[in-house]
Amino acid sequence: MSVPAKREYHRYLIGRQGARTRELRERFTVRIIYPSLPGEAHETEAAGEHEQSAAAPSGAPAPATTVGSATAAKEDPEDLDVLHIIGKKENVDKAKTEILSLIKNLVFF
């Protein structure tokens, strides 16, 4: 499911060291995919790998925060203003509602 979220809000939605995204991911059991620019893809993917290994020390795979395809960002600049949430429909709907609420609160500040 796609969620409209301006690029300037992504940093707020991700949180310090991915804390807000990790909290949403764990609370709703979903994957949240942020788009990336071509120059950012490598750096963001490395951070995601670190987060994934820290989250699953027992060897069990953990749901990862993923970045979008760098080629998709080149094809359509509007894709930079869209997050994707993957998971069970009811969990995705709850996560979407929470993300939209966070964005709404951010806009009013």
Burial 65-82 (b: 16+ CB within 10 A, else e): bbbbebeebeeeeeebeb
Q: Whole-model pTM?
A: 0.64
pLDDT of residue 66 exceeding 70: no
Number of domains within the chain? 1
Compute the distance between CA of residue 29 and CA of residue 1 in angstroms, rounded to an integer.
Answer: 14
Share of the chain above pLDDT 90, in %: 47
User: From residue 57, how far is each of 27, 39, 51, 52, 89 by CA, in Å?
Assistant: 19, 30, 11, 9, 28
Tell me: the pLDDT tens digits for 11-44? 999 999 999 999 999 999 999 999 886 665 533 3
pLDDT of residue 8 exceeding 80: yes
CATH number of the domain within which 54 lies: 3.30.1370.10
Domain assignment of residue 65, given as a range? 2-107
Query: Is the four-CA dihedral 78, 83, 89, 90 of positive or negative sign?
Result: negative
Instruction: Report DSSP state, residue 53.
Output: H
